[in-house]
Amino acid sequence: MSKLQQKIQSIVSYIVFITLVFFYCSNISFSQEYVSADFKIIDSAYEYGGGYSSSTNYKLESALGNVSAATSSITGYNLSPNFFYYPTVTIPIVSATAGDGQVTLSWTAAVGELGWVVSAYNVGISTVSGGPYSFSSSLGNVLSSIRTGLSNGTSYYFIIRVEDAFGNIVATSTQSSATPVAAAVPSPGGGGGGGWLPPSILLPTLSPTSTIPVVYPTSIIPLAQKVCVQYITKSIKFGAANDPSQVKKLQTFLKEYEGFSNIAITGFYDQTTYNAVKTFQTKYASDILTPVGLTTPSGYVYTSTIKKINEIMCD
Protein backbone atom coordinates (compact mmCIF):
# COMPACT_ATOMS: atom_id res chain seq x y z
CA MET A 1 0.00 0.00 0.00
CA SER A 2 1.37 3.36 -0.99
CA LYS A 3 2.00 6.12 1.49
CA LEU A 4 -0.77 8.17 -0.15
CA GLN A 5 -3.31 5.41 0.43
CA GLN A 6 -2.22 5.07 4.05
CA LYS A 7 -2.59 8.78 4.57
CA ILE A 8 -6.08 8.81 2.98
CA GLN A 9 -7.13 5.88 5.16
CA SER A 10 -5.90 7.67 8.28
CA ILE A 11 -7.83 10.82 7.34
CA VAL A 12 -11.04 8.81 6.73
CA SER A 13 -10.69 7.02 10.09
CA TYR A 14 -10.17 10.34 11.88
CA ILE A 15 -13.26 11.83 10.19
CA VAL A 16 -15.36 8.82 11.21
CA PHE A 17 -14.12 9.11 14.81
CA ILE A 18 -14.85 12.84 14.95
CA THR A 19 -18.34 12.22 13.50
CA LEU A 20 -19.14 9.57 16.14
CA VAL A 21 -17.91 11.83 18.95
CA PHE A 22 -20.00 14.71 17.58
CA PHE A 23 -23.21 12.66 17.51
CA TYR A 24 -22.56 11.28 20.98
CA CYS A 25 -21.80 14.69 22.49
CA SER A 26 -24.72 16.33 20.72
CA ASN A 27 -27.06 14.11 22.77
CA ILE A 28 -25.53 15.50 25.95
CA SER A 29 -25.15 19.14 25.01
CA PHE A 30 -28.66 19.79 23.72
CA SER A 31 -30.72 18.11 26.45
CA GLN A 32 -33.92 19.45 27.99
CA GLU A 33 -34.09 22.26 30.55
CA TYR A 34 -36.07 21.67 33.77
CA VAL A 35 -37.85 24.60 35.42
CA SER A 36 -40.00 25.02 38.55
CA ALA A 37 -40.94 27.85 40.88
CA ASP A 38 -37.88 27.09 43.01
CA PHE A 39 -35.03 26.23 40.60
CA LYS A 40 -33.96 25.75 36.96
CA ILE A 41 -31.64 23.08 35.57
CA ILE A 42 -29.96 24.02 32.28
CA ASP A 43 -28.46 21.52 29.82
CA SER A 44 -28.93 18.45 31.99
CA ALA A 45 -26.63 15.64 30.88
CA TYR A 46 -25.32 12.18 31.62
CA GLU A 47 -21.80 12.43 32.96
CA TYR A 48 -19.07 10.06 34.03
CA GLY A 49 -18.46 11.89 37.31
CA GLY A 50 -17.49 15.53 37.57
CA GLY A 51 -19.20 18.75 38.66
CA TYR A 52 -22.50 19.34 40.38
CA SER A 53 -25.48 21.68 40.35
CA SER A 54 -26.48 23.40 43.59
CA SER A 55 -28.62 26.07 45.21
CA THR A 56 -29.62 27.01 48.75
CA ASN A 57 -32.29 24.28 48.68
CA TYR A 58 -30.61 21.30 46.98
CA LYS A 59 -27.39 19.82 45.61
CA LEU A 60 -27.27 17.46 42.61
CA GLU A 61 -24.00 15.64 42.00
CA SER A 62 -23.38 14.02 38.62
CA ALA A 63 -23.44 10.26 38.28
CA LEU A 64 -23.11 7.51 35.67
CA GLY A 65 -26.55 7.07 34.06
CA ASN A 66 -29.98 7.64 35.61
CA VAL A 67 -30.95 6.96 39.19
CA SER A 68 -34.49 6.11 38.07
CA ALA A 69 -36.63 6.44 34.99
CA ALA A 70 -40.08 7.14 36.50
CA THR A 71 -41.80 10.49 37.04
CA SER A 72 -41.74 12.05 40.52
CA SER A 73 -44.26 14.73 41.48
CA ILE A 74 -44.17 16.43 44.90
CA THR A 75 -45.03 19.84 46.34
CA GLY A 76 -41.72 21.63 45.69
CA TYR A 77 -40.83 20.40 42.20
CA ASN A 78 -41.57 17.84 39.47
CA LEU A 79 -38.91 15.59 37.89
CA SER A 80 -39.53 13.99 34.49
CA PRO A 81 -38.33 10.56 33.28
CA ASN A 82 -34.67 9.98 32.43
CA PHE A 83 -33.32 12.39 35.01
CA PHE A 84 -32.29 12.40 38.66
CA TYR A 85 -34.51 12.16 41.74
CA TYR A 86 -33.92 14.43 44.74
CA PRO A 87 -34.14 13.11 48.29
CA THR A 88 -36.75 14.92 50.37
CA VAL A 89 -37.69 15.39 54.03
CA THR A 90 -40.96 16.62 55.52
CA ILE A 91 -40.99 19.78 57.66
CA PRO A 92 -41.88 19.38 61.38
CA ILE A 93 -44.88 21.27 62.76
CA VAL A 94 -44.03 22.98 66.07
CA SER A 95 -46.23 23.93 69.03
CA ALA A 96 -45.08 26.03 72.00
CA THR A 97 -46.70 26.05 75.45
CA ALA A 98 -45.70 28.78 77.92
CA GLY A 99 -44.92 28.07 81.57
CA ASP A 100 -43.31 29.87 84.49
CA GLY A 101 -39.87 30.90 83.19
CA GLN A 102 -39.97 28.20 80.54
CA VAL A 103 -41.59 27.07 77.28
CA THR A 104 -42.42 23.47 76.39
CA LEU A 105 -41.89 22.69 72.71
CA SER A 106 -43.23 19.69 70.82
CA TRP A 107 -43.14 18.91 67.11
CA THR A 108 -44.17 16.31 64.57
CA ALA A 109 -41.57 13.89 63.27
CA ALA A 110 -39.74 14.80 60.06
CA VAL A 111 -39.73 11.93 57.56
CA GLY A 112 -36.93 11.45 55.01
CA GLU A 113 -37.48 9.93 51.58
CA LEU A 114 -35.27 8.70 48.74
CA GLY A 115 -32.16 8.23 50.87
CA TRP A 116 -32.36 10.86 53.60
CA VAL A 117 -32.49 9.56 57.17
CA VAL A 118 -33.61 11.89 59.99
CA SER A 119 -31.41 11.31 63.04
CA ALA A 120 -31.79 14.33 65.33
CA TYR A 121 -33.21 17.81 65.91
CA ASN A 122 -32.03 21.07 67.46
CA VAL A 123 -33.87 24.17 68.67
CA GLY A 124 -33.38 27.78 67.57
CA ILE A 125 -34.55 30.54 69.96
CA SER A 126 -34.79 34.30 69.52
CA THR A 127 -36.50 37.29 71.13
CA VAL A 128 -36.99 38.78 67.66
CA SER A 129 -39.51 37.37 65.17
CA GLY A 130 -37.56 35.91 62.26
CA GLY A 131 -34.29 35.70 64.22
CA PRO A 132 -31.36 35.67 64.35
CA TYR A 133 -31.65 32.49 66.40
CA SER A 134 -29.36 30.88 68.94
CA PHE A 135 -29.31 27.13 68.37
CA SER A 136 -29.01 24.33 70.89
CA SER A 137 -26.73 21.38 70.45
CA SER A 138 -28.20 18.23 68.91
CA LEU A 139 -31.07 16.91 71.05
CA GLY A 140 -31.12 13.45 69.50
CA ASN A 141 -34.15 11.84 67.88
CA VAL A 142 -36.78 13.34 70.24
CA LEU A 143 -40.02 15.20 69.57
CA SER A 144 -40.11 17.61 72.52
CA SER A 145 -37.90 19.91 74.56
CA ILE A 146 -38.35 22.24 77.54
CA ARG A 147 -36.43 25.52 77.26
CA THR A 148 -35.84 26.86 80.76
CA GLY A 149 -34.27 30.02 82.24
CA LEU A 150 -36.57 32.34 80.25
CA SER A 151 -37.90 35.73 81.38
CA ASN A 152 -41.60 35.94 82.19
CA GLY A 153 -43.43 38.49 80.05
CA THR A 154 -40.91 38.27 77.19
CA SER A 155 -42.01 36.79 73.86
CA TYR A 156 -39.72 34.06 72.49
CA TYR A 157 -39.65 32.70 68.96
CA PHE A 158 -38.62 29.13 68.15
CA ILE A 159 -37.75 27.03 65.10
CA ILE A 160 -36.77 23.36 64.85
CA ARG A 161 -33.96 22.21 62.56
CA VAL A 162 -33.75 18.63 61.28
CA GLU A 163 -30.41 16.81 61.17
CA ASP A 164 -29.45 13.83 59.00
CA ALA A 165 -27.19 10.96 60.02
CA PHE A 166 -24.08 13.11 59.41
CA GLY A 167 -25.31 16.14 61.38
CA ASN A 168 -26.22 18.16 58.28
CA ILE A 169 -29.29 20.42 58.48
CA VAL A 170 -31.82 19.05 55.97
CA ALA A 171 -35.02 20.91 56.93
CA THR A 172 -36.21 23.83 59.08
CA SER A 173 -39.66 24.30 60.59
CA THR A 174 -41.78 27.42 60.46
CA GLN A 175 -41.60 29.73 63.49
CA SER A 176 -43.65 29.27 66.67
CA SER A 177 -43.80 31.65 69.64
CA ALA A 178 -44.79 31.73 73.31
CA THR A 179 -44.53 34.16 76.25
CA PRO A 180 -43.63 32.68 79.67
CA VAL A 181 -45.84 33.80 82.58
CA ALA A 182 -45.43 33.63 86.34
CA ALA A 183 -47.38 30.95 88.17
CA ALA A 184 -50.68 32.10 89.67
CA VAL A 185 -50.59 32.96 93.40
CA PRO A 186 -53.08 30.86 95.43
CA SER A 187 -56.08 32.89 96.59
CA PRO A 188 -56.94 33.12 100.31
CA GLY A 189 -59.57 30.72 101.59
CA GLY A 190 -60.75 27.75 99.59
CA GLY A 191 -61.32 24.16 100.57
CA GLY A 192 -59.10 21.16 100.83
CA GLY A 193 -58.28 21.28 104.53
CA GLY A 194 -58.40 25.02 105.25
CA GLY A 195 -57.45 28.27 103.56
CA TRP A 196 -54.03 29.72 102.90
CA LEU A 197 -53.16 32.93 104.77
CA PRO A 198 -50.84 35.48 103.07
CA PRO A 199 -48.06 36.93 105.25
CA SER A 200 -49.63 40.40 104.94
CA ILE A 201 -52.66 39.32 107.01
CA LEU A 202 -52.09 39.43 110.76
CA LEU A 203 -53.72 36.85 112.99
CA PRO A 204 -55.71 38.18 115.97
CA THR A 205 -53.84 38.15 119.28
CA LEU A 206 -54.87 38.28 122.95
CA SER A 207 -54.40 41.46 124.90
CA PRO A 208 -52.16 41.21 127.96
CA THR A 209 -55.18 41.19 130.33
CA SER A 210 -57.47 38.99 128.26
CA THR A 211 -58.52 35.61 129.66
CA ILE A 212 -60.77 34.61 126.77
CA PRO A 213 -59.00 32.34 124.27
CA VAL A 214 -59.02 33.33 120.62
CA VAL A 215 -61.03 31.03 118.33
CA TYR A 216 -59.91 31.14 114.72
CA PRO A 217 -62.52 30.81 111.98
CA THR A 218 -62.60 27.33 110.43
CA SER A 219 -61.41 28.80 107.12
CA ILE A 220 -58.17 30.08 108.66
CA ILE A 221 -55.24 28.02 109.89
CA PRO A 222 -52.30 29.76 111.59
CA LEU A 223 -49.59 30.64 109.06
CA ALA A 224 -46.85 28.51 110.63
CA GLN A 225 -49.03 25.40 110.25
CA LYS A 226 -49.94 25.86 106.57
CA VAL A 227 -47.27 27.59 104.47
CA CYS A 228 -44.89 25.18 102.71
CA VAL A 229 -42.49 25.30 99.80
CA GLN A 230 -43.57 23.73 96.49
CA TYR A 231 -42.00 20.30 96.08
CA ILE A 232 -42.24 19.95 92.27
CA THR A 233 -41.80 23.20 90.32
CA LYS A 234 -41.16 22.10 86.72
CA SER A 235 -43.05 19.89 84.28
CA ILE A 236 -41.65 16.45 83.44
CA LYS A 237 -42.34 14.59 80.19
CA PHE A 238 -41.29 11.18 78.97
CA GLY A 239 -38.60 11.50 76.28
CA ALA A 240 -37.90 15.19 76.98
CA ALA A 241 -34.78 16.92 78.33
CA ASN A 242 -36.06 17.05 81.92
CA ASP A 243 -34.42 18.65 84.97
CA PRO A 244 -32.70 15.70 86.74
CA SER A 245 -33.21 17.26 90.21
CA GLN A 246 -36.96 17.50 89.57
CA VAL A 247 -37.08 13.91 88.31
CA LYS A 248 -35.28 12.72 91.46
CA LYS A 249 -37.88 14.51 93.62
CA LEU A 250 -40.66 12.87 91.62
CA GLN A 251 -39.06 9.42 91.98
CA THR A 252 -38.54 9.94 95.72
CA PHE A 253 -42.19 10.94 96.15
CA LEU A 254 -43.50 7.95 94.23
CA LYS A 255 -41.19 5.53 96.03
CA GLU A 256 -41.58 6.79 99.61
CA TYR A 257 -45.11 8.25 99.63
CA GLU A 258 -46.96 6.20 97.01
CA GLY A 259 -45.32 2.81 97.57
CA PHE A 260 -43.61 2.24 94.22
CA SER A 261 -40.66 0.32 95.66
CA ASN A 262 -39.33 -0.70 92.24
CA ILE A 263 -38.40 2.87 91.30
CA ALA A 264 -34.70 3.81 91.31
CA ILE A 265 -33.74 7.39 92.23
CA THR A 266 -31.70 8.19 89.12
CA GLY A 267 -32.89 11.59 87.89
CA PHE A 268 -33.84 10.02 84.53
CA TYR A 269 -37.52 9.78 83.63
CA ASP A 270 -37.49 6.12 82.66
CA GLN A 271 -40.29 3.71 81.72
CA THR A 272 -40.76 2.50 85.33
CA THR A 273 -41.26 6.06 86.62
CA TYR A 274 -43.52 6.88 83.65
CA ASN A 275 -45.76 3.87 84.43
CA ALA A 276 -45.91 4.85 88.12
CA VAL A 277 -47.00 8.40 87.21
CA LYS A 278 -49.83 7.01 85.06
CA THR A 279 -50.98 4.84 87.97
CA PHE A 280 -50.81 7.87 90.30
CA GLN A 281 -52.87 9.95 87.83
CA THR A 282 -55.51 7.22 87.66
CA LYS A 283 -55.64 6.98 91.47
CA TYR A 284 -56.35 10.71 91.79
CA ALA A 285 -58.27 11.05 88.51
CA SER A 286 -60.88 13.40 89.99
CA ASP A 287 -58.14 15.87 90.98
CA ILE A 288 -55.73 15.36 88.05
CA LEU A 289 -57.53 14.15 84.91
CA THR A 290 -61.11 15.43 85.22
CA PRO A 291 -60.21 19.15 85.73
CA VAL A 292 -58.29 19.18 82.41
CA GLY A 293 -60.81 17.10 80.46
CA LEU A 294 -58.85 13.83 80.32
CA THR A 295 -60.22 10.33 80.83
CA THR A 296 -56.98 8.38 80.59
CA PRO A 297 -53.59 9.04 82.23
CA SER A 298 -50.93 10.73 80.10
CA GLY A 299 -47.77 10.19 82.16
CA TYR A 300 -47.06 13.93 81.63
CA VAL A 301 -46.26 15.64 84.94
CA TYR A 302 -47.87 18.99 84.28
CA THR A 303 -50.15 21.51 86.04
CA SER A 304 -52.77 19.31 87.70
CA THR A 305 -50.34 16.46 88.48
CA ILE A 306 -47.80 18.89 89.99
CA LYS A 307 -50.59 20.49 92.04
CA LYS A 308 -51.68 17.15 93.47
CA ILE A 309 -48.13 16.07 94.36
CA ASN A 310 -47.46 19.39 96.10
CA GLU A 311 -50.75 19.17 98.00
CA ILE A 312 -49.84 15.70 99.31
CA MET A 313 -46.34 16.82 100.29
CA CYS A 314 -47.71 19.96 101.96
CA ASP A 315 -50.27 18.00 103.96
CB contact set of 206 (below 8 Å; sequence gap of 6+): 212, 213, 214
Is residue 103 over pLDDT 70? yes
The amino acid that residue 186 corresponds to is P
**CA distance linking residue 65 with residue 92, whole number of Å:** 34
**CA distance linking residue 226 with residue 43, whole number of Å:** 80
Is residue 28 over pLDDT 70? no
* Angle at alpha carbon of residue 149, lines to 145 and 154, rounded to 5°: 100
Interval 264-278 mean pLDDT = 93
CB contact set of 175 (below 8 Å; sequence gap of 6+): 94, 129, 130, 157, 158, 159
Q: What is the pLDDT of residues 216-248, one digit of tens each?
A: 555 555 544 555 778 999 999 988 899 999 999
Interval 243-267 mean pLDDT = 92
**CA distance linking residue 235 with residue 155, whole number of Å:** 20
Q: What is the pLDDT of residues 141-200, one digit of tens each?
A: 999 999 999 999 999 999 999 998 888 898 899 999 999 998 776 555 544 444 454 554
Q: Domain 228-314 maps to which CATH number in 1.10.10, 1.10.101, 1.25.40, 1.10.3470?
A: 1.10.101
Q: What percent of the chain has pLDDT over 90?
A: 43
The amino acid that residue 78 corresponds to is N
Report CA torsion sign: 139, 144, 149, 152: positive
Class of domain 89-178: mainly beta
Whether 163 and 138 have beta carbons less than 8 Å apart is answered as yes
CATH 2.60.40.10 in the chain, residue ranges? 89-178
CB contact set of 37 (below 8 Å; sequence gap of 6+): none
**CA distance linking residue 74 with residue 89, whole number of Å:** 11
CATH 1.10.101 in the chain, residue ranges? 228-314
- 0.85 exceeded by the pTM? no
